[in-house]
Amino acid sequence: MKKRFWKVEYSITIFVIFSICLMFVPTGFITTREAAYISLWNETINKMEYVFSAMNAHADADIAKGLRNAKDEKSREQIMMTLVKPYLRISESNSLKKKYTLHYLNSSVVKPEDRYYFDKLYLTRNNKIIGIKDIKDEDLYHPVFLMMFDMNGLRGPNTWGKDVFGLNIFIDGNITPLGSGWKLDDLKSDCSDSGTGVACSYYLRIGGNLNE
């Protein structure tokens, strides 16, 4: 009788431990995965700083004139993409043709009329998705282009602040992560389940926590 009771007690203990483990496994997995994306994002920023430094060193007056005189946003985007393509090893054949839906951190869909929607995307050889968007603002204090990077390409979650991050590109060739220059409270608010997640590009880079 005691032996049977011990077996029942032992089984219950194992079941409780197993249930607790199941509760923690998904959370740990998500945290590890997001940490990997943040690490990739930091590597991407470092690479893009080199890219734009190299571009500035080799840029000539004709390129700057071409950007200023481009007849529309699409033309400017094409010029900028032509400049960065050799460094990112992408070509027109890498243009993304599959359906891709981008989300904000609050789970809402990024709409075509939104500032952070990119209608022309490219799939790189290492399976990242890259987009460039012209926002035509030519003073030194506002970006002229936005650039987005999906760290794992077509695989989900395709969400700003989780696997999608972005850069501001300025007329003088400088770049900053999206969210740079925001107040800390605004960064925390945007990089949360109720925000867009766009500012996570900067907030997570400076050590902010997505789960705060």
Query: For residue 32, which phi and psi values (nearest 5 degrees)?
Result: -65, -45
Total-model pTM: 0.76
Q: Between 127 and 8, where is the model more confident?
A: 127
Q: Please state, for a pLDDT cut of 70, what percent of the chain lies above it.
A: 69
Model confidence at 20, pLDDT cuts 50, 70, 90, reads very low
The pLDDT assigned to 26 comes to 42
Phi/psi-derived region of residue 136, left when phi > 0, alpha when psi is between -120 and 50, beta in every other case: left
The pLDDT assigned to 5 comes to 43
The strand pairing partners of 169, in sequence order, are 145, 175
Phi/psi-derived region of residue 153, left when phi > 0, alpha when psi is between -120 and 50, beta in every other case: left
Check: CB of residue 201 under 8 Å from CB of residue 151: no
Give the chain's mean pLDDT.
79
pLDDT digits (tens, 9 = 90+) for 24-73: 444 334 468 888 999 999 999 998 888 888 776 666 545 555 555 566 66
Cα-atom radius of gyration of the chain, to the nearest Å? 22
pLDDT digits (tens, 9 = 90+) for 149-171: 999 999 999 999 999 999 998 87
Q: Would you report the helix, strand and coil content of the chain in percent, each value rounded to 5?
A: 45, 15, 40
The pLDDT assigned to 110 comes to 98
10 Å Cβ neighbour count for 32? Answer: 9
Q: What's the one-letter identity of residue 75? A: S
pLDDT digits (tens, 9 = 90+) for 170-202: 877 789 999 999 999 999 999 999 999 999 999
